[in-house]
Amino acid sequence: MKNVQIFSTKSEFDNQTAAAIIAIILATLETRPECHLVLTGGNTPRGVYSQLAGFSRNLIEWQRVHLYWGDERMVPPEHVDSNYRMAKETLLEHIDIPRENIHRIRGEINPAAAAVEYAALLKEKFHHEPRFDLMLLGVGKDGHTASLFPGTKAVVEKKKLVAEVFVRKLDSWRVTLTLPVINNARQIMFLVAGKSKAEILKKIIRAEPPTTDLPASLVRPTGGELYWMLDADAAAKLGK
């Protein structure tokens, strides 16, 4: 398995992952007018985004970076569960990025409408198949990534760019990018930390062939690079 980095502590994970993201943004802006970056939700990225905000202050021309979300919980943007709110608190409020470069999924409207609206935004931004420069992803303990949860139709969606999904065990709606969009990214970076992810990460890495039971195992960039940024706790069972 290539492109795997394992960091001994969570703070090293946060620092080094933020540095890796900055390096990819800078490299992209060397050759392209803009960088299109997809943020992941959940808790793991909080420290990474805070470091990203701090390190990038005089390094990144944020006016040339467009931010998107890989998924969103269907709640208002100020709701404690909102992935947009998490990114706003840890990153957006601390960098000089134009509001028009921030493309959140509207969690406050009807899920199906939000999915259609976001797909239209992607078509407007990319004019063709959306090809993000960097796609950040997390992994859930059940093997989900973004909001592609095991057993949901969204996992096997091949046509839509964005799908609404009712997650029974959470009794809640989500909106998520689909695998064709995720796998079309130039670079995909999984951020996985904590003991609770060690078992599922071992299963995902070993899943051959990939399986819809472990949606994260289906993330295989069609023409890009895949990076795994792990802390030692999450990587503890990889060699076993």
Residues that bind ligand 6PG (CB under 6 A): 40-44, 70-71, 83, 138-140, 144-147
3-state secondary structure of 193: coil
Report the residue number, 145 or 152, with the smaller CB distance to ligand 6PG. 145
Report the residue number, 145 or 184, with the smaller CB distance to ligand 6PG. 145
Contact 190, 229 (CB under 8 A): yes
Report the residue number, 67 or 127, with the smaller CB distance to ligand 6PG. 67
Which residue of this chain has its Cβ atom nearest to ligand 6PG in the complex?
Answer: 138
User: Least distance in Å: CB of 32 to ligand 6PG?
Assistant: 26
3-state secondary structure of 145: strand
204/198 Cα distance (integer angstroms): 10
Report the residue number, 42 or 150, with the smaller CB distance to ligand 6PG. 42
Closest residue by Cα to residue 144 from 35, 238, 218: 218
122/45 Cα distance (integer angstroms): 23
Sheet holding 71-73, edge to edge: 71-73, 172-177, 162-167
Give phi and psi for 63, each to the nearest 5.
Answer: -70, -10
User: Least distance in Å: CB of 111 to ligand 6PG?
Assistant: 14
User: Least distance in Å: CB of 144 to ligand 6PG?
Assistant: 6
User: Least distance in Å: CB of 95 to ligand 6PG?
Assistant: 21
